[in-house]
Structure 1
Amino acid sequence: MIAVHARYRGREKGRAAVVERSAEALGTLPGIGAFEILGVEDIRTIADTPEASLNLIMALLSDGSWAIGLGFADSEANALATASKAVGVKAGQVRVVVDKQGATTEASDIAAAFALLAHVLHKRTFEGREATSLVRRGLNQNEAAAELGISKQAISQRLHAAGWPAEQAGWQLTLNLITRAADQAD
């Protein structure tokens, strides 16, 4: 089982309302269960698949206001507890705990991959976030350019400047690592 625990570290007023709205919005992602809201700034949930957990964490990292714990264990209760133990205190960081004997390498590899992805995400301009969002939703470059009212060359330049190829490679690497850790924790 895979669980994600996130702690809001942003500066918005009305933290509880921000956390509640975020939990509601993130709960609509495919493969993500309903969130449990813990106190004022913590949420946690179970992810149905490695890909669902990765997409959830990418959304949290994109926001930049969440400290994230990713937990792997043999049962839902153990995965939730493991994710809660993993959550750190610094926004934009992912800590990982795999509840399996000798699993420190998997956990550190996954955390390292997320650190690289977070770096790419945090360097993006508004235009880069706009372009990558459209392509991530499934639009090709011609469709994304038309949506933004710019040329195909301009969308290509925005994607390149936003680190889109690096994000795609990092996403695939992280998915492979999460899949292996989930298989070993079961």
Structure 2
Amino acid sequence: MFVIIADQVDSRHDRDHVDEAIGMLTARFGDRLVLPPERTAGDELQLLVADGATALAATLALLRDDHWRAGLGLGAVLEPLPAGVREASGPAFIAARAAVEAAERRPLRCAVRGDAGAEDLGALVDLLLAQRSRWSAQGWELHDLLERGLTQGEAAAQLGITPQAASKRARAAGLRVDAEARAAIGRLLDDRAGAAADSGEAPTGVAGA
């Protein structure tokens, strides 16, 4: 499974964003979560996810604004599961704690931890984040419509632009590459989490973050 721990950046000089982040995650991913997000300590939240695609999507959603750093931990979770994520435990939670601590020192505010191969996946997530950091507001606007299931033509009509202009926006942002990369990373996360759970290997620490 996958545990996401997100910690608010510079919370001493900003208002609390935990409740709105929990609302966003619940609205977007609620039926795909094993245990829904909860505030765990002060300005921190935590959630449990069963599949790599959802874990990646939730992590990217948190990191879309500058309020959060996020750690994604993969591995086994002790069962039976409790009613709330704050009472859950297991290697995936240990890995997520190491990941969010590592994320504090990373420029893109994200880290992946689990078994020995998990950090390699973190580098791929960094590539996605670096690419997205260059998107224009128009690129994000088109991305959001496509993610809602609209075709590019339908998105163009809603934006009041020509299909050719929408295609140009999509190419400029690399939206197709982004979507294909997210699908591939999601599959790799599933493979890595399964390997970590089967091996029983202890989560890696924060060294080398």
Normalising by the smaller structure, the TM-score range is 0.7 to 0.9
Q: Does 2:109 align with 1:96?
A: no
Of residues 99, 108, 112, the one that matches 1:86 is 99
Q: Does 2:152 align with 1:141?
A: yes
Q: Does 2:22 align with 1:23?
A: yes
* Matched-pair contact (CA < 8 Å) for 2:53–2:185: no
Query: Take 2:146 and 2:11, find their aligned partners in 1: how far apart are those partners?
Result: 29
Q: CA deviation at 1:27?
A: 2.0
Cα RMSD, aligned residues only: 2.0
TM norm structure 2:
0.78
* Matched-pair contact (CA < 8 Å) for 2:53–2:183: no
Query: Take 1:134 and 1:110, find their aligned partners in 2: how far apart are those partners?
Result: 27
Describe the shift of the 1:11–1:156 C-alpha distance in structure 2 as closer, same or farther (beyond 3 A): farther
Secondary structure of 1:34's aligned partner: strand
Of residues 136, 159, 165, the one that matches 2:176 is 165
Q: CA deviation at 1:118?
A: 0.1
Match of 1:74 in 2: 76
- Count residues with an aligned counterpart: 180
Q: CA deviation at 1:125?
A: 0.8
Query: Take 1:153 and 1:13, find their aligned partners in 2: how far apart are those partners?
Result: 44
> Could you list the per-position Cα deviations for residues 22-72 of structure 1 after superposition, in whole angstroms to 9, with x for gaps in the alignment?
112112214123212133321111012222101101212322432111111
Q: CA deviation at 1:91?
A: 6.3
Secondary structure of 2:47's aligned partner: strand
- Structure 2 residue runs of 5 or longer lacking an equivalent are 79-88, 198-209
Describe the shift of the 1:143–1:154 C-alpha distance in structure 2 as closer, same or farther (beyond 3 A): same
Q: CA deviation at 1:144?
A: 0.1
> Could you list the per-position Cα deviations for residues 64-91 of structure 1 after superposition, in whole angstroms to 9, with x for gaps in the alignment?
4321111112115122232122102156
Q: CA deviation at 1:2?
A: 1.0
Q: Percent identity?
A: 27
Secondary structure of 1:138's aligned partner: coil
Secondary structure of 1:96's aligned partner: strand
